[in-house]
Structures are given as structure tokens and as C-alpha cells.
Amino acid sequence: MELEKIEKLVNHLLSAQDKHTEINKLTETHCPDLTIKEAYAIQKALIEKRLARGEAIAGPKMGLTSQAKLQQMAVDDPIYGYVLDSMLIEDGGTIAINEYIHPKVEPELGFVLKEEIKGPGVTKEDVLAATDFIFPAIEIIDSRYRNFQFTLPDVIADNASAAGAVFGTSIKKLGTLDLETIGVVLEINGKVKEVGAGAAVLNHPAEAVARLVNILAEQGKSVKPGQPILTGAMTAAVKIEAGDYVEVKFGEGVGVVRLFVS
Ligand code: OOG
Ligand code: MG
């Protein structure tokens, strides 16, 4: 795809984000034959443009790593994108609904590595050995596309719907923690909306990190030690409204993350 076209699509996506208005899928209006490779080229250009605007990368995110999410979004493969510093909300912080289009929340486990691991061929065991700590998180996704509907290339170009992230402060060393059976409960206004377990994410959340490292390796990229990594929603995503109070609680003492919506 020519640079000019990429630039045009990036501006289109950014304008939807900045104006909080949904747009038609790129595959509907601009490029019906968009490939995954081209979609990542658009995502890369979009991130570069945001960096040029003064934003910085907080860390990478995996998406569509659970059956609940794949079914909810009717797509068939995990993807990655980037959380930027401008998207971060402190634990217990408040977001204004009118700064988004149709936001949803997702409960996620975050990883921070102590050593760099380079793909290809990285396994979940390599990830666990290189993990410094994990942390509880809420991701806010806000597809720029109409009715939150897209194909895989569309959502990749749209930086995997990334729009916000609350990183819990209760970091936890792995020790004897079992990330397969670790449970999570997503409550809104005190009502349970979704429940999940670690194994929902590619059978083990560390597998999501391994996949990420291996995909990035194909592009000569890696995950830096200390960078927060989101492993993908452990349940389906839930729409939020003004006035909502979101609480995500993880088992095994991993802790609670909170978000208010105004
Ligand atoms: C794509 C992003 C999915 C996750 O955790 O699965 C994602 C979307 O569903 O809009 O972040
Ligand atoms: Mg997510």
C-alpha cells in the first residue's frame, strides 16, 4: 500500500478518535482487500503519528486472546496493539464518557518482564521465568468503527481498539501463583457482569505474552523489561455508561482495580 494511502487512513482513524465519532470500517469504504500485513503497517503509522504528537508508548497489548472475545467480536485470531501514556487512568480514577465513542471495559492481567526475551520460539515457560511481576488491569476499548463491528484487518489498523487502561497498583510476584486457575469478577455498580479465569486467555495468560514476543520478533521488535504488557480480556467486554462504577477483582490476592465513569 502506498504511503499516501496509509497516511490518509491514519488521519481518518485519528479524526474519528479525536472527534469521538464512529466511522465505517476501512474494509467497507476504503480498502475491501486490506490484508493483515497492510493493517499492521497502518497501525504502525498511526502509532508513529501519535508519538509525533507528543504521546509515548506505555506498553504493548494483546487482544482477542479468549474465546469469549473471539466469539463476541466474531473474529478468529489474536492481535496486538499499543497502550499509549495518554490512555492511562489511575486506579480509582474517572473517565468522561463523552471523550469516547462507545467504550467497553475488559478485565486483564498485566505482565512486567525483568529480562528481555527474544522470539521466535519463546514459550510460556520462558515468559514465566522472565517475569518480574504481574498486575491487575482494566482495559477500555473503544473501536472507532460503527457499532463496534469490524474484520480482523480493520481492528488491527485501529490499534486493536485501544482507548484507555487502568493499571492496578497491587503488583504481585509469581511465586506459586497459578495463573491458569486465577479467577476474575467484573462488577458494574455492584452487580456481577462477567466472570472468568486465567485459562480463558490462550489456556494460560503467559501464552499471550509468548505469542506477542514471537510476533514482534518477526518484525525485529521486542518487549522491553519494565514495560507493562496487557494479555487480553479474560471475559467478554462490557459496555459502560455515565454514572457507572467498575470494579474488577482478581483472586489469589492479585487485587482489585477500579474505575468511575462520569
Ligand atoms: C479488539 C480488542 C480486543 C482484548 O483484550 O481482547 C482486546 C476489540 O474487541 O475491539 O483488547
Ligand atoms: Mg483488551
Over residues 162-184, the pLDDT tens digits come to 999 999 999 999 999 999 999 99
pLDDT in the model for residue 76: 84
Q: The dihedral of CA 55, 57, 62, 68: what is its sign?
A: negative
232 alpha carbon – ligand 2 mean position (Å):
4
Long-range contacts of the stretch 129-132 (C-beta < 8 A, 24+): 131/174, 131/206, 131/209, 132/173, 132/225, 132/226
pLDDT confidence of residue 21: 98
Predicted pLDDT of residue 219: 87
Residue 140 in contact with ligand 1 by CB distance below 6 A: no
> Ligand 1, residues 13, 64, 159: which to mutate, most atoms within 8 A of Cβ?
64
Whether ligand 1 lies within 6 angstroms of the CB of 73 is answered as yes
Q: What is the pLDDT of residues 1-44, one digit of tens each?
A: 999 999 999 999 999 999 999 999 999 999 999 999 999 999 99
Average pLDDT for residues 214-220, to the nearest whole number?
92
Query: How far does residue 143's CA lie from ligand 1's centre (Å)?
Result: 9
Looking at residue 88, its pLDDT comes to 98
Closest protein CA for atom 9 of ligand 1: 73
Q: What pLDDT is attached to residue 244?
A: 99
Q: Tell me the CA end-to-end span of the chain in Å, nearest whole number.
A: 41
Which domains can be identified in the chain, with CATH numbers?
A: 3-261 (3.90.850.10)
Nearest CA to ligand 1 atom 8: 161
Q: Residue 156 C-alpha to ligand 1 middle, in angstroms?
A: 10
* pLDDT confidence band for 130 (50 / 70 / 90): very high
